[in-house]
Amino acid sequence: MGHIQDIYPELEARGARAAVVLAQRRGKIREYLEEHDYPFPVLADERRQVVKDYGVYVSVNFESINIARPATFVLDPEGVIKYIFIASVQTEYPPDSDILESLDRLKP
């Protein structure tokens, strides 16, 4: 979430909004948010339905430790996905420039 927080002013300058969806229990997220403040909504996906719907679900197997992989989506005003980044590991994030450029391409 920190990488989104870092570029949030640039997102706002482009008229964009951000939200984070975590495949965790609400209680755990609430505890975390008591100590951390973010300028965007942080939502719980306890049943992992959003994770599955967006294709960032990994079946648990020998090579898979985590079920949900970090992913970044940019949607246009109609809700159509225009940019997708799905990490291969938990610590991987898209370059900020990729996110910002995808937003710039949405401008008429």
Contact 93, 6 (CB under 8 A): no
What residue spans define the domains of the chain?
Answer: 2-104
Residue 76: predicted pLDDT: 92
Band of pLDDT at residue 25, cut at 50, 70 and 90: very high
* Mean pLDDT rounded to a whole number for the chain: 88
26-63 pLDDT, tens digit per residue, is 999 999 999 999 999 999 999 888 888 888 876 665 55
Q: Give, in words, the CATH class of 2-104.
A: alpha beta
Contact 95, 85 (CB under 8 A): no
Angle at 79 between CA 33 and CA 17, to 5 degrees: 40
Structure tokens at 23: 């495949």
pTM: 0.80
68-102 pLDDT, tens digit per residue, is 778 999 999 999 999 999 988 878 999 999 999 99
